[in-house]
């Protein structure tokens, strides 16, 4: 779906190059050739912000209605609410694809744009200012291009410039760009200048999960909110600029009118504007960090940070020449950050991001993410015991990896069994995609709290999730696995002392509370992916700022943030609610201690119709968080292991 956004603010791009070209001649030209045969008809959300442009808004909306591509929804978001705009929009509302969204006046087009973006759901979003005009094949060509270039996240085109008293249907109009990086646009080019005309841009909605929306605080600088968003989207995929003009860009003599300024004043204003744009890009918008702070985009972050520092220093003699030379040398001799510096950068970025959040006063929702690889039988045991012992029911996301068709078939069996239980299975794309696949789960979530599980866990006692939702995650890290029964550390194969349990007012008669930083071994390990509860936004932010390839390296990397969690309280039930049964090891990153039952042995039993007889383990008292035991088996649908024992 493509969303079209109409905005009544029009600001100049930094460098415009003109060339006299006849519109009628170039309307027939399609230099960015694409195959229009068998192109999927994706819906496009069109975002049109507007403010007191009702006289020309009609022509803008007519150009949307005239599109040869008909699968769109147009969201007309007014910055305020006026009778004139309402009257201008009213005739178009007879077409159910148009929607009118008045709102409180903010003084920036970013606010109505964001409102319209959030109102739509289409996979593609197209932006359109309320004083510009689309040529009829605009959406058709760009939809085809995006379908032929699945890695493209930001697509723009050239445009014609139409001044006052001109008519694009009759007059010869100059091109907006004569020299521009047509084709794939390198990120460095976009950092140096904004080559994407707002009314020519289409983006993928999925990119906004990571980039955030437009910055509503950047309305004082020309084109700031647009360029800022493009720079945050750019690292996430490919950026392309189509050479053929698809837009009529209106240019009014009063469009950018402002009090006269000296050359020096204009230069200083430009420096301040640029600085604010790059600062916003590096900081991010909303509750998540900027994508440029993700470790995988370190090179782009350095380019953007270099520009920010240049404009922060202000105009200097030969400043641009010296800066460009230094920037190119830095790029030529680029070296990734050391492990220690990357950890320091991630920790600093997390602290800065969290400082923007408002305090979460009440927590009402929780979701669970389960990691699994080649252990469908054990996953079945986990999900079955969760269904039986955990209340209230909650959404569960299973991120799994199957190394063979036989293991995949077993996962398909489990998926079918829990299809009606709000359990969603997400197959890992490949061996190297674990982080990206996890991000695809984490970033769309809106729950307050979150916990992880691995597939060799079973719930052995009842759990009421509401017991933990009442605890502030800034003060507590609740745990399902900790209990007074844990007096041994499985990983080190050594006894472990119980911590000093506190008489804390937040605890109840069935809870224990301790301080992570005053305990040892398992009792001093708050950042575990085995049944510990976290704020969803904290965990999403930490995951984004780390490099990892599997659940083990994910948990290992989380320890970077331990100084921020170590001083929180741990809280759990007096007796463990879950137990890890490590009868085998399926990952190769870290040589964890485990039993020696091969996953294929359990797969063979599953194929014969057996499952873990988990009910026999209910109420067990484990002495360590991980405990090796022989898994009892039963035929699926039966309550006894007799047949299994007879066969073995």
Structure confidence at residue 596 (pLDDT)? 80
**Is pLDDT above 90 for 30?**
no
25 confidence band (pLDDT: 50, 70, 90): very low
Give whichever of 202-206, 262-266, 336-340, 584-588 has the largest mean pLDDT: 202-206
CA 315 to chain centroid, in Å, comes to: 37
Query: Mean pLDDT throughout 515-530?
Result: 96
Residue 10, pLDDT above cutoff 60:
no
604: CB partners within 8 A, 6+ apart: none
Task: Show me where the domains of the chain are located.
Answer: 2-252, 271-336
440-463: b or e for each residue (b if 16 or more CB lie within 10 Å)? bbbeebebbbbbbbbbbbbbbbeb
Q: With 50 as the cut, is the pLDDT of residue 55 above it?
A: yes
Confidence of residue 35 (pLDDT cuts 50, 70, 90): very low
* pLDDT of 7 strictly over 60: no
End-to-end Cα spacing for the chain: 57
What is the per-residue pLDDT for 506?
76
Return d(Cα 140, Cα 68) in angstroms, integer: 6
CATH superfamily membership of 2-252: Spore Coat Polysaccharide Biosynthesis Protein SpsA; Chain A (3.90.550.10)
Residue 308 pLDDT exceeds 70: yes
Helix (H) or strand (E) holding 390: strand 390-391
Predicted pLDDT of residue 41: 66
Residue 23: is its pLDDT beyond 70?
no
Is the pLDDT confidence value at 34 over 50? Answer: no
* pLDDT exceeds 70 at position 371: yes
Please report how the helices 599-607 and 376-389 are oriented relative to each other, as an axis angle in degrees rounded to 10: 70
How much is the average pLDDT of 287-300?
95
Q: Which pLDDT belongs to residue 113?
A: 97
Torsion of CA 521, 527, 529, 530, to 10 degrees: 40
HSE-CB for 205 with a 13 A CA cutoff = 22
pLDDT, averaged across the chain: 89
Give the pLDDT score at 643.
Answer: 42
Asked if 223 and 295 touch (Cβ cutoff 8 Å), the reply is no
For the stretch 175-221, pLDDT in tens is 999 989 999 999 999 999 999 999 999 999 999 999 999 999 886 54
Angle at alpha carbon of residue 269, lines to 286 and 13, rounded to 5°: 70
Segment holding 371, helix H or strand E: strand 366-373
Answer whether the bond into residue 632 is a cis peptide, omega within 30°.
no
Max mean pLDDT among 38-52, 324-338, 445-459 falls in 445-459
Cβ atoms 468, 449 nearer than 8 A: yes
pLDDT at 473 over 90: yes
Interval 387-412 mean pLDDT = 97
- Which alpha helices (H) appear in 465-594, and where do they start and end? 466-469, 536-544, 551-558, 562-565
Rounded Cα gap, residues 26 and 244, in angstroms: 8
**CA distances from residue 234 to 187, 201, 204, 213 in whole angstroms, order as listed:** 7, 13, 11, 14
3-class SS of residue 139: helix
The percentage of the chain sitting over the pLDDT mark of 70, rounded to a whole number, equals 89
pLDDT band at 253 (very low <50, low <70, confident <90, very high): low
Could you read off the pLDDT of 626-645 as tens digits, one per residue?
999 999 999 997 544 344 33
Amino acid 219: pLDDT? 65
pLDDT at 319: 85
Query: How sure is the predictor about 224, in pLDDT bands with cuts at 50, 70 and 90?
Result: confident
Handedness of CA 136, 137, 140, 146 (dihedral sign): negative
Please tell me the chain's helix, strand, coil percentages from 3-state DSSP, rounded to the nearest 5: 35, 20, 40
- Is the predicted pLDDT of residue 430 greater than 90, yes or no? yes
pTM of the model: 0.86
Tell me which of 6-20, 78-92, 343-357 is least confident. Answer: 6-20
């Amino acid at each position: 779906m493509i969303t079209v956004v109409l905005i009544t603010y029009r600001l100049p791009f930094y460098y415009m190059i003109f060339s006299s070209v006849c519109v009628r001649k170039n309307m027939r030209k399609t230099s960015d050739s694409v195959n229009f045969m068998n192109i999927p008809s994706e819906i496009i959300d069109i975002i049109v912000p507007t403010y007191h442009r009702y006289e020309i808004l009609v022509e803008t909306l007519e150009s949307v209605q005239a599109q040869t591509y008909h699968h769109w929804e147009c969201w007309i978001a007014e910055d305020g609410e006026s009778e004139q705009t309402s009257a201008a929009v009213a005739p178009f509302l007879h077409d159910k694809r148009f929607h009118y969204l008045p709102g409180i006046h903010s003084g920036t087009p970013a606010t109505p744009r964001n409102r319209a973006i959030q109102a739509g759901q289409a996979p593609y979003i197209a932006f359109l200012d309320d004083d510009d005009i689309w040529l009829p094949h605009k959406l058709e060509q760009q939809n085809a291009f995006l379908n032929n270039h699945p890695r493209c996240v930001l697509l723009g085109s050239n445009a014609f410039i139409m001044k006052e008293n001109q008519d694009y249907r009759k007059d010869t109009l100059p091109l907006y760009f004569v020299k521009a990086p047509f084709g794939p646009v390198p990120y460095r080019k976009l950092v140096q200048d904004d080559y994407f005309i707002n009314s020519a841009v289409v983006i993928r909605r999925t990119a906004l999960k990571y980039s955030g929306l437009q910055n509503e605080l950047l309305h004082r600088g020309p084109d700031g909110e647009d360029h800022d968003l493009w720079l945050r989207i750019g690292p996430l995929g490919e950026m392309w600029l189509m050479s053929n003009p698809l837009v009529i860009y209106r240019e009014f003599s009063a469009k950018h009118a402002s009090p006269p300024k000296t050359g020096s004043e204009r230069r200083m204003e430009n420096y301040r504007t640029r600085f604010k744009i790059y600062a916003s890009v590096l900081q991010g918008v909303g509750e998540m960090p900027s994508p440029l702070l993700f470790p995988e985009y370190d090179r782009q972050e350095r380019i953007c940070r270099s520009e920010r520092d240049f404009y922060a220093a202000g105009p200097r003699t030969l400043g641009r020449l010296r800066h460009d030379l230094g920037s190119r040398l830095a790029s030529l001799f680029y070296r990734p950050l050391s492990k220690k510096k990357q950890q320091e950068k991630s920790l600093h970025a997390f602290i800065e991001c969290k400082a923007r959040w408002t305090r979460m006063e009440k927590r009402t929702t929780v979701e669970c993410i389960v990691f699994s690889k080649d252990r469908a039988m054990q996953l079945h045991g986990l999900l079955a015991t969760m269904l039986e012992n955990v209340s209230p029911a909650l959404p569960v996301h299973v991120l799994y990896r199957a190394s063979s068709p036989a293991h995949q078939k077993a996962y398909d069996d489990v998926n079918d069994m829990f299809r009606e239980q709000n359990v969603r299975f997400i197959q890992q794309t490949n061996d190297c995609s674990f982080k990206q696949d996890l991000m695809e789960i984490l970033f769309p979530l809106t729950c307050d709290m979150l916990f992880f599980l691995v597939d060799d866990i079973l719930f052995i006692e009842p759990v009421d999730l509401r017991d933990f939702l009442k605890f502030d995650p800034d003060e507590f890290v609740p745990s399902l696995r900790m209990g007074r029964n844990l007096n041994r550390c499985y990983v080190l194969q050594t006894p472990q002392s119980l911590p000093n349990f506190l008489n804390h007012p937040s605890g109840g008669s069935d809870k224990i509370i301790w301080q992570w930083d005053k305990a040892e071994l398992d009792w001093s390990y708050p950042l575990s992916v085995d049944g510990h509860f976290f704020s969803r936004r904290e965990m999403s932010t930490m995951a984004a700022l780390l490099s990892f390839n599997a659940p083990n390296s994910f948990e290992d990397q989380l320890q970077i943030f331990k100084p921020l969690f170590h001083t929180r309280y741990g809280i759990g039930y007096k007796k463990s609610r879950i137990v890890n049964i490590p009868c085998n090891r399926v990952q190769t990153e870290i040589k964890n201690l485990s039993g020696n039952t091969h996953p294929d042995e359990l797969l063979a039993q599953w194929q014969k119709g057996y499952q873990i007889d988990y009910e026999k383990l209910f109420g067990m008292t484990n002495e360590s968080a991980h405990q090796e035991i022989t898994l009892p088996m039963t035929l699926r649908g039966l309550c006894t292991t007799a047949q299994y024992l007879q066969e073995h």
